A and B are shown apart, each in its own frame.
Chain A
Amino acid sequence: MRIVDHLPILQVVVPLVLAPLCALVRSRRLAWGLAAAGSVSSLVVSLRLLSAVMASGPISYAIGDWAPPFGIEYRIDVVNAWVLVVVSTIAAAVAFYARVSVQAEVGDRRIPLFYAAYLLCLSGLLGIAATGDVFNVFVFLEISSLSAYALISLGRDRRALTSAFRYLIMGSVGATFIVIGIGLLYATTGTLNMEDLSEILPQVWDARTVKVAYGFLAVGLCLKLALFPLHLWLPNAYAFAPSAVTAFMAATATKVAVYMLLRFFLTIFGAAFSFGVMGLDRLLLLLALTAIFSMSLVAIFQANVKRLLAYSSVAQIGYMILGLSFASVTGLTATLLHLFNHALMKGALFMALGCVVYRIGSVHIDAMAGLGRRMPLTMAAFVAGGLSLVGVPLTVGFVSKWYLILGALERGWWPVAVLVLITSVMALVYVWRVVEVAYFKPPPDDEPIAEAPASLLVPTWALVALNVYLGIDAGRTIGVAEQAARTLMGTAP
Chain B
Amino acid sequence: MRLGLSLLVPALAAVLIVVFRARPNLREGVSLAAAAVLFGVVLQLHGAVSDGARPELVLAEPFPGIPLVLEAEPLGVLFALVASFLWIVTTLYSIGYMRGHHEKNQTRFYVFFAYAIASVMGVAFAGNLFTLFVFYEILSLTTFPLVTHAGTEAAKRAGRVYLGILFSTSIVFQLLAIVWTYFAAGTLDFQAGGILDGRVAAGAVPVLLGLFVFGIGKAAVMPFHRWLPAAMVAPTPVSALLHAVAVVKAGVFAVLKVTVYVFGIDFLAGTGASVWLMWVAATTILLGSLVAFTKDNLKARLAYSTVSQLSYVVLGAMLATSWGVVGSGMHIAMHAFGKITLFFCAGAIMVAAHKTEVSQLNGLGRSMPVTFLAFLVGTASIVGLPPTGGSWSKWFLGMGALDAGQAGLVVVLMLSSLLSLAYLMEIPMKGFFGKRSGPPESPGIREAPLPSVAALVVTAAACLLLFVYPDPFYRLMTMVTGQ
Contact = CB atoms under 8 A, between A and B. Distances in A.
Interface of A: 387, 390-394, 399, 402, 405-406, 409-410, 417-418, 421-422, 424-425, 428, 432, 436, 440, 471-475, 478-479
B225 to A, nearest CB: 18
Given A409-B180, A417-B179, A399 B62 contact: yes
B171 A391 contact: yes
B151 interface: yes
B164 to A, nearest CB: 8
Contacts of B406: none
Nearest to B66: A402
Nearest to B179: A405
A405 B60 contact: no
A402 B163 CA distance: 21
A473 B183 contact: no
B422 interface: no
B183 A471 contact: no
B64 interface: yes
Contact of B137 (A393, A406, A432): A393
B162 to A, nearest CB: 12
B148 A440 contact: yes
B63 A474 contact: yes
A326 to B, nearest CB: 13
Residue among B62, B138, B180 with max Cβ neighbours from chain A (10 Å):
B62
B44 interface: no
Nearest to A471: B62
A436 B159 CA distance: 10
A475 B167 contact: no
A227 B182 CA distance: 31
B134 A418 contact: no
B385 interface: no
A428 B63 contact: no
A402 B137 contact: no
A428 B151 CA distance: 20
Contacts of B61: 473, 475
Given A392-B137, A393-B133, A440-B151, A402 B156 contact: no
Nearest to B175: A421
A421 B137 contact: no
A331 to B, nearest CB: 14
A409 B180 CA distance: 7
Given A392-B137, A393-B137, A417-B179, A472 B60 contact: yes
Given A387-B141, A410-B183, A474-B63, 7 more contacts: A393-B130, A393-B134, A399-B62, A421-B176, A424-B171, A428-B167, A473-B60
Residue among B64, B134, B137, B175 with max Cβ neighbours from chain A (10 Å):
B175
Contacts of B182: 406
A478 B64 contact: yes
Residue among A410, A472, A478 with max Cβ neighbours from chain B (10 Å):
A472
A422 B172 contact: yes
B149 to A, nearest CB: 12
Interface residues of B, number: 27
B70 interface: no
Contacts of B167: 390, 425, 428
A390 B134 CA distance: 14
B160 interface: yes
A421 B171 contact: yes
Report the 10 A-B pairs with minimum CB-CB distance, sorted nearest first.
Answer: A393-B134, A421-B172, A405-B179, A425-B168, A409-B183, A440-B156, A474-B62, A472-B60, A424-B171, A421-B171
Nearest to B131: A393
Contacts of B138: 394
A202 B346 CA distance: 77
B68 interface: yes
19 contacts: A393-B134, A394-B134, A399-B63, A402-B179, A409-B179, A409-B180, A410-B183, A418-B172, A421-B175, A421-B176, A422-B172, A425-B171, A425-B172, A428-B168, A432-B163, A436-B160, A471-B62, A472-B60, A472-B62
Contacts of B133: 393
Contacts of A424: 171-172
A440 B138 CA distance: 21
A294 to B, nearest CB: 19
Nearest to A440: B156
Residue among A417, A421, A436, A478 with max Cβ neighbours from chain B (10 Å):
A421
A162 B180 CA distance: 48
A54 to B, nearest CB: 16
Contacts of A402: 63, 179
A468 to B, nearest CB: 11
A405 B130 CA distance: 15
A456 to B, nearest CB: 25
Nearest to A482: B64
A392 B163 CA distance: 13
Nearest to B68: A472
A418 B134 CA distance: 20
Contacts of A406: 179, 182-183
A401 to B, nearest CB: 8
A474 to B, nearest CB: 5
Interface string B135-162: 0011001000000100100001000100
B179 to A, nearest CB: 5
A229 B117 CA distance: 47
Given A409-B183, A425-B167, A473-B62, A418 B176 contact: yes
A425 B138 CA distance: 16
A390 B172 CA distance: 12
A405 B62 contact: no
Nearest to B155: A440
A417 B176 contact: yes
Contacts of A394: 62, 134, 138
Nearest to A409: B183
A473 B175 CA distance: 20
A424 B175 CA distance: 11
Contacts of A421: 171-172, 175-176
B171 A405 contact: no
Contacts of A409: 179-180, 183
A469 to B, nearest CB: 10
B224 to A, nearest CB: 13
B445 to A, nearest CB: 35
A264 to B, nearest CB: 30
B176 A405 contact: yes
Residue among B60, B156, B167, B171 with max Cβ neighbours from chain A (10 Å):
B171
A475 B63 contact: yes
Residue among B130, B138, B183 with max Cβ neighbours from chain A (10 Å):
B183
A473 B130 CA distance: 14
Nearest to B151: A440
Nearest to B184: A409
B175 A405 contact: yes
B128 to A, nearest CB: 12
A436 B172 CA distance: 22
B421 to A, nearest CB: 40
Contacts of A417: 176, 179
B63 A478 contact: yes
Nearest to A442: B151
A334 B156 CA distance: 36
Contacts of B151: 440
Nearest to A383: B141
A392 B168 CA distance: 12
B23 to A, nearest CB: 23
Nearest to A424: B171
B271 to A, nearest CB: 20
Interface string B273-293: 000000000000000000000
A422 B171 CA distance: 8
Contacts of A392: 137, 141
A437 B63 CA distance: 35
A393 B60 CA distance: 13
Contacts of B171: 390-391, 421, 424-425, 428
A475 B64 contact: yes
Nearest to A330: B183
Contacts of A399: 62-63
